[in-house]
Amino acid sequence: MKTTLQRLLGLRAAAIYGGSRRGGGIGCNPRIIMGLLIIGGYMAYHWFGTTEYQNEFTGRKQTLAISTPEEEIALGLQSTPQMIRESGGLSRDAAGRALVEKVGSKLLSSTAARQTPYQFKFHLLADNNTVNAFALPGGQIFITEALFRRLKSEDQLAGVLGHEMGHVVGRHSNEQMASTRLWSGIAQGVGIMTSDGHNNTGAYIAQMVAQYKVMKFSREDELESDALGVRFMVQAGYNPEALIGVMEILAAASGGRGGSDFMSSHPNPENRIEKIRELIAKEKARGPQ
């Protein structure tokens, strides 16, 4: 799709530039015309090719690349085998797999997530090196053995899985696809307009700005999933304080590296702890739902 769009925009820019030369022209740099056409094309596609959605879990209005949950489910199921292969397959620990499925099922049956069309399934991966958990669109949720072995309680496992469920019902991957496509297209157009064929500083800055915008969305998604994870834990009868322990585990696994959240797709675990404490206080104040 991207290649076709670029080809069409290129032909359009060439036609304009050709007309300029033949007729004395508009006297405009063809790179500016090309850049504006690319930016306009991506903005138009973002406007007409996306879906507006009011998310009942987050209370936010979202702009989505994929309109229906069924399409998200299909995308997630299609990607699942590759994710499992890249992580060394499923864990051979039958008891561990059973525990992950048990906790995931309890979270699902106790919360409003069960009323969604998403096909939740919880996987324990064999990867012993990468401390990670992630979710695919549509409900496929994964945790690596490297993280699973570091957890100290079932409540902490519930915190990890509840957080990933938050990504699914928050439709974060879907929203990210729309945002990434738009900002990458804008960066491409700005890069073309500011490049003189020798110095690409403008293109580099444009890409950095686009990357920061996308990463900012990602950090906000993580905090939103923390909030949903806390809510799901409370509703399922788990101790939400355990999610703070998960953040401490992630901080230790990162080697204690702190620093700024700038240019980081995930908020600093230490910074998230204070946010989680606030979320727990708010959730307790809400009372039983």
Which DSSP string do the residues of 72-99 spell out, in sequence order?
Answer: HHHHHHHHHHHHHHHTTSB-S-HHHHHH
pLDDT of the residue at 48: 75
Residue 270 neighbours by CB distance under 10 Å: 14
Which two three-digit tokens encode residue 25? 């022209």
User: DSSP H helical segments within 87-171, as ranges?
Assistant: 94-110, 145-148, 154-169
Q: Indicate if the alpha-carbon torsion angle 249, 253, 256, 261 is positive or negative.
A: negative
Residue 258 CB partners (closer than 8 Å, separation 6+): 268, 270
CA–CA gap between residue 69 and residue 61 (Å, rounded): 16
Spacing of C-alpha 144 from chain mean position: 18
pLDDT < 50: residue spans in the chain: 1-26, 258-263
Of the candidates 177, 163, 165, the one whose C-alpha atom is nearest the C-alpha of residue 63 is: 177
CA distance 193 to 191: 5
Q: What residues are paired with 140 via a beta bridge?
A: 121
**Could you state, in order of their start, the residue ranges of all structural domains in the chain?**
1-49, 61-173+217-286
Tokens of 68: 């229906």
The pLDDT value recorded for residue 37 is 76
Kind and range of the H or E run holding 268 = none
pLDDT confidence of residue 216: 60
- pLDDT at residue 141, as a whole number: 97
Identify any residues that bridge with 57 across adjacent strands, giving them in sequence order.
Answer: none
Q: Which two tokens stand for residue 117?
A: 């069309």
Q: Which residue, among 170, 164, 85, has the nearest Cα to 126 in the 3D structure?
A: 85
Q: Of 189, 147, 158, which Cα lies nearest the Cα of 10? A: 189
Tell me the whole-structure pTM to 2 decimals: 0.73
Q: Give the three-state DSSP class for 26.
A: coil
Predicted confidence at residue 205, as pLDDT, reads: 57
Amino acid identity at 59: G
